[in-house]
């Protein structure tokens, strides 16, 4: 357990979660002083860093808490998807992404059922409480691997998305075929088989693409490769699916 993880565990044991969410910026600003520098820059909060905080196979920004995949998501979204005041739905966003989007996007709605994220709504992704053709952009990052009825969820994402709109999706991936087994329900066994105790499958890139296409999406697989020491701390290798709802 590294220093950041130990400190986080101590703080979580001392303060209520809602209070931590409220004053997170203060705690992080103090911790950030240890990492302040000019070697790297977080593209979400703009912090200059000597280094990111190593987190197993990931790297965290000490100032805002962003991870590699969050910084990549913001890079994609800010570059191509925020023109013309889009109506955006974001499922279980990281707190740093939520705050960034709230400051940047006029019509931004976040949703979460777990209570672990900052959310404006509590939509069930398999039965989204919004009308047809409502959103210009949907962000669904590391969500579908938690959902038993993932095909129903994909159908709902397609339903509430406007014609010509986009849904940006990422999950953990493996080579080969999708691996799932609905008889595996024990959290210990799920962690052993799927990598996390609340995951119900591991997708392959092609397998997820096929399911999304079956739900009506046109799917663009975007693969990113970076030098490990890139400026913004992006992952060295990363795959993101950009899904478009084709006009009728």
DSSP annotation of 52 reads: P
Residues 32 and 155 in one domain: no
- 122 and 8 in a common domain: no
Q: What is the pTM of this model?
A: 0.90
Task: Select from 31, 50, 66 the last residue of a domain.
Answer: 66
Same domain, 49 and 111: no
Q: Is 64 exposed, middle or buried (CB count within 10 Å of its CB: 0-12, 13-18, 19+)? A: buried
Boundary (domain end) residue, out of 39, 66, 93 = 66
Strands 237-245 and 217-225: antiparallel
Q: How confident is the model at residue 25 (pLDDT cuts 50, 70, 90)?
A: low
Looking at the fold, whether 99 and 216 belong to one and the same domain comes out as yes
CATH classification at residue 90: 3.40.50.150
pLDDT grade, residue 149 (50/70/90)? very high
In total, the chain counts a number of residues equal to: 248
Whether 135 and 35 share a structural domain: no
pLDDT reading at 5 higher than 80: no
pLDDT category at 213 given cuts 50, 70, 90 is: very high
Number of domains observed in the structure of the chain: 2
Q: Which residues contact 217 (CB under 8 A, 6 or more apart)?
A: 154, 158, 167, 243, 244, 245, 246
Domain that holds residue 28: 1-66
Half-sphere exposure of 172 (CA within 13 A, CB side): 14
Torsion of Cα atoms, 26 then 31 then 34 then 35, to 10°? -90
Domain boundary residue, one of 66, 97, 119: 66
Q: What percent of the chain has pLDDT over 70?
A: 90
Query: Is the same domain home to 18 and 104?
Result: no
Contacts for 188 with CB less than 8 Å, ≥ 6 apart: 197
């Amino acid at each position: 357990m590294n220093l950041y993880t130990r400190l986080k565990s101590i703080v979580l044991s001392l303060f209520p979660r809602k209070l931590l969410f409220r004053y997170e910026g203060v705690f992080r600003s103090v911790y950030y002083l240890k990492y302040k520098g000019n070697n790297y820059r977080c593209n979400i909060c703009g912090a200059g860093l000597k280094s990111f905080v190593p987190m197993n196979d990931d790297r965290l920004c000490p100032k805002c808490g962003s991870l590699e995949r969050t910084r990549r998501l913001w890079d994609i979204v800010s570059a191509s998807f925020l023109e013309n005041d889009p109506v955006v739905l974001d499922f279980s966003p990281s707190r740093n992404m939520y705050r960034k989007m709230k400051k940047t996007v006029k019509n931004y709605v976040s949703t979460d059922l777990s209570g672990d994220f900052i959310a404006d709504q509590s939509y069930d992704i398999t039965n989204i409480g919004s009308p047809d053709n409502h959103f210009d952009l949907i962000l669904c990052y590391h969500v579908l691997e938690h959902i038993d009825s993932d095909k129903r969820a994909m159908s709902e994402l397609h339903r509430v998305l406007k014609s010509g709109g986009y849904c940006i999706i990422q999950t953990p991936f493996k080579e080969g075929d999708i691996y799932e087994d609905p008889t595996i329900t024990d959290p210990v066994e799920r962690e052993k088989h799927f990598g996390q105790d609340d995951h119900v499958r591991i997708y392959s890139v092609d397998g997820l693409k096929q399911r999304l296409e079956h739900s009506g999406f046109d799917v663009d697989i975007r693969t990113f490769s970076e030098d490990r020491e890139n400026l913004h701390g992006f992952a060295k290798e990363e795959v993101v699916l950009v899904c478009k709802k084709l006009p009728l």
